[in-house]
Amino acid sequence: MRIRAGDLVEVIAGTDRGVRAKVLRVDRRAGSAVVEGVNRAYKHVRRSQKHPQGGRLSKEMPLSLSNLLLVCPSCKRAVRTGVRYTDDGSKQRHCKKCGAEMGRIAPPKTRHAGP
């Protein structure tokens, strides 16, 4: 899973195409993510103590991870990402365009550590 909560992503498909926003949460099992301000839908709520006004609430719905691209912090473009092992054996993401490091995604493993 190369997209994590807190990442800046760009939507590449759908009605919100081209929008850059922050990932709020990722559902690994469903392969989807909720992105801030993207893919909003109305939920109709009845009047209650929790919602005394009632009416329509607008909330973000999940998007498929295939419709999102991670934005590289160094080249400021939506790019494909790769995974590589560092010298200490930890796994990290990197930008396929400029090769910049985009953060560690797994702890060190001895079998992948360098000499």
Tens-digit pLDDT profile for residues 31-71 = 999 999 999 999 999 999 998 999 999 999 999 999 999 99
Q: Please state the separation of Cα 82 from the chain's center in Å.
A: 15
Domain that holds residue 85: 80-115
CATH number at residue 7: 2.30.30.30
Q: Give the span between the Cα atoms of 91 and 99, in whole angstroms.
A: 15
- Across 78-83, average pLDDT: 93
Does residue 101 share a domain with residue 62? no
Same domain, yes or no, for 109 and 61? no
For the whole model, what pTM was predicted?
0.82
**Percent helix, strand and coil across the chain, each to the nearest 5:** 5, 45, 50
My answer on whether 37 and 84 are in the same domain is: no
- Give the pLDDT confidence of 5-25 residue by residue, as tens digits: 999 999 999 999 999 999 999
Q: How far are the Cα atoms of 17, 26, 53, 77, 81 from residue 97, in angstroms, in the given order?
A: 21, 25, 50, 9, 9
Task: Give the number of domains in the chain.
Answer: 2
Least confident of 2-6, 13-17, 85-89, 93-97: 85-89
Statement: residue 114 has pLDDT above 70:
no
